[in-house]
Amino acid sequence: MANELLIRVYDVGLGDCIYVRIPGVSGDNNDAFHMLIDCGTWSSESLLETALKQLASELPAATDAGKKRLDLVVITHEHKDHIAGFDPALWAKFAVSNVWMNCAMNPKHPEAGKTRKVRKVAEKAMASLTSLGSALSPRLSELVSVFEIGNAGAMNTLRHALLAGDGEPTYVHAGQTHKDHGIELHPNATIHILAPEFDFDRFYLGQVTQTTLKGVIGTAAFAADEEIDPNSKPDTTSAPVPGPVPEPRNISQAAFRALRARMQSNEMAFAELDGKLKNNSSIVLLIEWNGKRLLFVGDAEWHGAFKEGKMNGSWNVMWKQRNELLAQPIDFLKIGHHGSENATPWDMGSGEKTEEASILEAILPLPMAGNKAAARAVVSTERGKYRTIPRGQLLKEIARRIDGTISYADDLRDYKPKDIADFEAYERDWLRELQPPRTDFERIRKNNGYIDVTFD
């Protein structure tokens, strides 16, 4: 019903595509605020097509003939599993009023210049890895795919084609709300932006890391930051793939293989760093409506207790900078990074009182004895790309703190996973345990293409 707040988490494989409908004053669907958080996948893109087709059926008609109105699209961060669905052909039937990106995605953001330098080095490193012509490990193949030209095409759509006319995306940062960007909502509704902070390099790259990078890249090169024209359109044509690098004759084959391994290790380190920075650039939204608090965290990571000058995780920065808003119980959590162990603050089963354990207890407190938890949570996930995504032990811990949990053991008795070894190691023992609703298993259990959570 249009007078209920609706959260619809689509099953797009390993990726995020989340529709949120915030009721308006009248309770009519035309008066509601319709927003989409991310549209990406590491899996079949046909799942995104299905999700967008279903989304269109929920939206009111736009003033543009034949199109459906979408008031806001939020791009949490620049990873394929969050942006792969932004193909102009898939968006031809939508009229989008506003696009939010995180401040680090702004090509001219002055406080993310060093982060852009890391990205450029990482891109060159990935190009050199592909030119080696050797079989890459699964982890290296995954890192290479992060820098695919398809990501540039999606970003081009987001910056130049999604908004009508001369519209441009809005780059947002922590401390702002919907009001700062001219968006009108029901008087009882607020969209808070909890992350990332405006001074991105300071909080998430950190001075210690910057000093180290100066020694690796070179002080002059690291200090220089090429200005990028945000109106330029990237070249989306595929460059020719270099052939295998010939083995040199002045060193032994064993020495050459060792040298190549060290090169791959260094390049992988830059790619890993870039990946963490992208995750920690995620827009984190806290939506308040009629006394309910709903938290959407993208792929924000936690890296241990906050410390000035170090490379902090987004959760730890929020705990330090946005504690007043964060340190209260929430009514809904969109579980971060598809159930990854580094994207929901917790004690990792150690039982120790850490900053991370304190954060989880604040937002999803364990119910008192004899009481039932009222909060809800959903995870959009699919096993097969990362060994510990999802992390069964973490999902079990979250299940202790929420309502609407499920045991999937009976429904998945005949389930045949893509990777049997990882499934046996990280999933099988947890299927008997209660866990939050999962997009992948709900499709098996109910043949549902999405999970709905409503509040009235």
Residue 231 has a pLDDT of 47
Inside any domain, residue 245 = no
**Model confidence at 328: pLDDT above 80:** yes
The Cβ of residue 100 has, within 10 Å, a number of other Cβ atoms equal to 24
Is 81 in contact with 40 (CB distance < 8 Å)? yes
Instruction: Give percent above pLDDT 90 in the chain.
Output: 56
Does 242 fall in a domain?
no
pLDDT of residue 260: 46
Average of per-residue pLDDT across 88-99: 91
- Total-model pTM: 0.88
In a domain, 325, yes or no: yes
The most confident of 246-255, 348-357, 381-390, 417-426, by mean pLDDT: 348-357
Return all residues near 401 (Cβ < 8 A) that are at least 6 apart: 360, 364, 365, 366, 367, 373, 375
pLDDT at position 118, please?
A: 87
Structure-model confidence comparison of residues 152 and 64, the more confident one:
64
CA gap 447, 138 in Å, rounded: 30
**Domain total for the chain?**
1
- In the predicted model, is pLDDT for residue 371 greater than 60? yes
Query: What is the span of the domain harbouring residue 392?
Result: 5-237+250-455
Q: Is the peptide bond before 60 cis (omega within 30 degrees of 0)?
A: no
Q: For the ranges 48-52, 90-94, 155-159, 315-319, which has the lowest average pLDDT?
A: 155-159
**Does any domain span residue 243?**
no
Inside any domain, residue 355: yes
Closest CA to 367 of 398, 396, 343: 398
Read off the pLDDT of residues 205-259 as tens digits, 9 standing for 90 and up: 999 888 888 777 777 767 765 444 444 443 333 333 333 434 444 445 555 454 4
Task: Give every CB contact of residue 308 below 8 A, 6+ residues apart in sequence.
Answer: none
**pLDDT beyond 80 at 172:** yes
Bridge pairing between strands 450-455 and 5-10:
antiparallel
The pLDDT value recorded for residue 130 is: 64
Residue-wise pLDDT for 100-147, tens only, equals 999 999 999 999 999 998 888 887 777 766 665 555 555 566 656 655
Confidence of residue 1 (pLDDT cuts 50, 70, 90): low
| Residue 91 belongs to a domain | yes
- Residue range 54-80: mean pLDDT, rounded: 94
Closest CA to 322 of 173, 209, 103: 173
Q: What is the predicted pLDDT for the residue at 211?
A: 85
Mean pLDDT in residue range 320-324: 97
Is residue 36 pLDDT above 70, yes or no? Answer: yes
Asked, for residue 199, whether it belongs to a domain, the answer is yes
Instruction: Check pLDDT > 50 for residue 391.
Output: yes
Q: What average pLDDT does this structure show over 142-153?
A: 59
Q: What is the CATH number of the domain that holds 30?
A: 3.60.15.10
